[in-house]
Amino acid sequence: MLKDFVFHASLLVSSFFFIGHWFRKFPLYRSSPWKIKLAAGFLYGLLGLVLMLFSIPINSIIIDLRHIPIIVAALGGGPLPALIAASIIATGRLTLFGGPTFPAVVASINLMMLGAVCGWLGGRRGITLLRFLLLDTFFMISNSISICISLYHLGQQADALCILIFMWTFSNVVGLLAVYVYQYILRSHAEGLKLAESEKRYRRLISQSPDAVFVQTADRILFVNDMGLRLLGAGSREELLGRSFIDFVRADGRDELLRRWKAMGAGAEAIDLVELHCTMLTGKEIIVELSISPIVYED
């Protein structure tokens, strides 16, 4: 059973990784468009089918984690994706394991009830480990009852305790691990999108600045806005990127500028406006007022 335990954990975590990556630009919320909810419900339903195909048989009962995709769909998007996922998984339970046997019918009814109740309860505040654990506990209680009914019908009630202990441990441990990884994936994508949007916003502001702006590190210009191109007479950024701004300062002003520059790098305050003579790419000499500020990023 340990191999099955590890396999299910790996399958669930890897599946959540791909689903989270798939929805990175269109995350599942209760307010998401119905198309997103429909797609999410379908994917979570397929995941439940895959988990059932690799279920763990114990006597006449099969144990798997098909309910976890339903709970995650409910916590993310509410009733619609949860009911879609539950319907797909319930249909698979009735058709993939020898037809609509009594345990299959009981399990399918339990899945549909789980989808309805979890969909109603979930999706209001998003996915958290505590909210997952509460819905998982609800399902495990309901599933324990259905398993006991099936075992009683089959005359195998003596196996109930062993099956239930394994099922509760299996569901809670693997489920919490998978949901934690899924949360991490969602947060990583969200933070990445925010960072990209923030960088795009500031680049737009700097590009439209009426002042010439240069970003330089390790004696190399990394960024220059349009006014910077105009200031030094460049036709394109490629003419300036990779060079140092010091190259354009007249020789008699470089030493003083470098001294102040190094002092600022050692912790001194930003340089106030300094008047410098610079030479454009065209050879024309101009007088500029230069200010330098340090930007510390990851040391």
Domain stop point among 200, 233, 265 = 200
Residues 105 and 224 in one domain: no
Residues 231 and 250 in one domain: yes
Instruction: Report the CATH number at residue 109.
Output: 1.10.1760.20
Mean pLDDT of 107-117: 80
Q: Is residue 297 part of a domain?
A: no
CB atoms within 10 A of CB 69: 31
Please tell me the distance from the alpha carbon of residue 278 to that of residue 212, in angstroms, as a whole number. 13
pLDDT at 123 over 60: no
pLDDT tens digits for range 32-57? 888 888 988 899 899 888 888 887 77
Please give the model's pTM, rounded to 2 decimal places: 0.61
Residues 74 and 53 in one domain: yes
Please tell me the distance from the alpha carbon of residue 284 to that of residue 299, in angstroms, as a whole number. 37
pLDDT tens digits for range 168-214? 877 778 778 877 877 777 777 777 778 878 888 888 888 888 899 99
What's phi and psi for 124, nearest 5 deg? -85, -35
Please tell me the distance from the alpha carbon of residue 136 to that of residue 5, in angstroms, as a whole number. 17
Specify the pLDDT at position 270. Answer: 64
pLDDT tens digits for range 140-171? 887 788 778 777 776 776 667 777 777 787 77
Specify the pLDDT at position 293. Answer: 82
Instruction: Report the CATH number at residue 260.
Output: 3.30.450.20
pLDDT at 231 over 90: yes
CB neighbour list of residue 225: distance below 8 Å, 6 or more residues apart? 206, 207, 208, 209, 212, 213
CB atoms within 10 A of CB 248: 22
Residues 173 and 257 in one domain: no
Give the burial string for 273-282 (b: 16+ CB within 10 Å, else e).
eeebebbeee
Please tell me the distance from the alpha carbon of residue 231 to that of residue 228, in angstroms, as a whole number. 5
Q: Is residue 299 part of a domain?
A: no
Residues 22 and 156 in one domain: yes
Domain stop point among 200, 217, 234 = 200
With CA atoms as reference, report the closest residue to 246 among 256, 231, 235: 256
Residues 195 and 213 in one domain: no
Domain stop point among 200, 235, 270 = 200
Specify the pLDDT at position 234. Answer: 92
Range of the domain at 113: 2-200
pLDDT at 245 over 70: yes
